């Protein structure tokens, strides 16, 4: 579904992604792992063309996305959930969801507000609350739900477990598993190895903007030197 090849991305003169490449198959949940500053967020932004790679390709279903404006990337079927959430704080939960509504997309799950309330019961209970009155975890859920209203084929999640209460982290894991069961493909960036192992099919580890590991969690567990070198604090 997605092929990232030879990507070099920069912030001004700072070289962040260095010849990065990997593939995502349809229906997979893949965890992009690494320490703070490893390049995980830049990878997601480079896929969405919020950061335009200077070299390399990002091919989604046969279409090279490099250089397209982000709204056209979204129209190809990609949905992006940033770490900083960016909900509309003065709109209600339901109004935030309606802002994200897009037409049905052939081959992608189609989401309604009622379906999302079934997956996110916390949001259903607060459907008339304004965004600014939600907890951090509820705001994270709302951002994911709003993105799903665009009916993406591939969902990019930036640090979905970061800064939320442990009970909400478990709900988030259940949500990602539910999305996978609906046929959605997910690429999520994470520092929490336990969370990633609970939801993802395989792991990609990056450090210094380069891929250091790509494989199953079973394979990762058999290479503790990789885990210790690139994931330990």
| Residue ranges per structural domain of the chain | 2-230
Helix, strand, coil in percent for the chain, rounding step 5: 35, 25, 35
CATH of 2-230, one of 3.40.50.300, 3.30.70.1710, 1.20.1740.10, 3.40.190.10: 3.40.50.300
Give me the long-range contacts of 88-95 (CB less than 8 A, separation at least 24).
88/131, 89/130, 89/131, 89/132, 90/130, 90/131, 90/132, 91/130, 91/131, 92/127, 92/128, 92/129, 92/130, 92/131, 93/123, 93/126, 93/127, 93/128, 93/129, 93/131, 93/134, 93/142, 94/127, 94/128
Q: Residue 94 in contact with residue 128, Cβ under 8 Å?
A: yes
What pairs with residue 63 in β-bridges?
60
Given this model, what pLDDT does residue 96 score?
Answer: 94
Res 83: pLDDT:
85
Q: How many other C-beta atoms lie within 10 A of the C-beta of residue 187?
A: 25
pTM of the model: 0.92
Mean pLDDT of 131-154: 92
Are the beta carbons of 46 and 53 closer than 8 angstroms? yes
Beta strands, E only, 25-107: 29-33, 55-60, 63-64, 78-81
pLDDT tens string 183-216: 899 999 998 899 999 999 999 999 999 999 999 9
């Amino acid at each position: 579904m997605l092929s990232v090849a030879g990507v070099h991305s920069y912030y001004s003169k700072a070289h962040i992604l260095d010849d990065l490449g990997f593939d995502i198959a349809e229906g997979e949940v893949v965890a992009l792992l690494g320490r703070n500053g490893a390049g995980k967020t830049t990878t997601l932004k480079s896929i969405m063309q919020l950061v335009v790679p200077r070299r390399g390709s990002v091919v989604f279903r046969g279409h090279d996305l490099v250089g397209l404006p982000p709204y056209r990337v979204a129209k190809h079927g990609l949905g992006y959930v940033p770490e900083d959430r960016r909900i509309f704080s003065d709109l209600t939960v339901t109004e935030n969801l309606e802002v994200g509504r897009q037409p049905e997309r052939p081959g992608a799950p189609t989401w309604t507000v009622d379906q999302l309330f079934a997956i996110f019961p916390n949001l259903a209970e607060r459907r008339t609350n304004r965004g600014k009155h939600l907890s951090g975890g509820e705001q994270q859920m709302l951002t994911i739900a709003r993105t799903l209203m665009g009916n993406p084929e591939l969902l990019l999640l930036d640090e979905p477990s970061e800064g939320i209460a442990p009970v909400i982290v478990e709900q988030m894991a259940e949500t990602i598993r539910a999305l996978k069961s609906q046929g959605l493909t997910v690429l999520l960036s994470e520092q929490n190895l336990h969370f990633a192992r609970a939801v993802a099919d395989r792991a990609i580890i990056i450090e210094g903007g380069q891929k250091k590991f790509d494989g199953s969690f079973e394979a990762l567990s058999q290479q503790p030197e990789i885990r210790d070198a690139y994931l330990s604090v």
